[in-house]
Amino acid sequence: MRNLILSAALVTASLFGMTAQAADVPLEAGKTYIELSNPVPVSVPGKIEVVELFWYGCPHCYSFEPIINPWVEKLPSDVNFVRIPAMFGGAWDAHGQLFLTLEAMGVEHKVHNAVFEAIQKDRKPLTKVDDMANFVATQGVDKDKFIATFNSFAIKGQITKAKELAQKYGVQGVPTMIVNGKYRFDLGTSGGPEQTLNIADQLIAKERAAK
């Protein structure tokens, strides 16, 4: 957890001290990004995968949302974007399970931003299933179906998978991005949110050229 706190401090400096333009970010292995020694298989073979690991309780992930969302909407058809909740115990696990439940129900795209707002802006903890169910009900989600899905065997399997992926990626803080299961980078290493997406664009192009 100490590493996560230190990472958050570095990200804060990046967020509020941004001066460089994203286009100026150099693509330097070991500096602006890390190449994984053991690449992780992508979820959709044949497509270039971009993963964002996040936590609803992370203010930097919240600040990144209005920047990354328009970028995701413009990704070409050969790129598959995936969000994975980072789950390091406690509230991280509760919020991760909340996300996975909404995703399994097919309503994540409608409720995701509202959950972020509730936790970050309205200071709702949303760490207990009943509180989560009551909140998502205000967003048009069936409360009983949410609770049943939240406690399902399928979601337990998704939790295990998310934790295993975070471990394989070597993630220690959020938000962190992974391109094609090979390259890891974050706001701290890249220099800020705009620069992070620039690195992602360059690595996507690198993977496309290698096909």
Please give the average pLDDT of every successive group of 10 residues along the chain, which has 211 residues: 43 41 76 97 97 98 98 98 98 98 97 98 98 98 98 98 98 97 96 96 96 84
Q: In terms of Cα–Cα distance, which of 151, 150, 187, 184 is closest to 165?
A: 184
Match 């602006």 to its residue by tokens.
Answer: 32
95, with CB counted inside 10 A (0-12, 13-18, 19+), is: buried
Q: How many domains does the chain have?
A: 1
Residue 14: inside a domain: no
Residue numbers of the domain that contains 185: 27-210
Residue 1: inside a domain: no
For residue 128, the one-letter residue type is K
Using DSSP's 3-state secondary structure scheme, residue 83 falls into strand
For residue 10, the model assigns a pLDDT of 43
For residue 211, the model assigns a pLDDT of 84
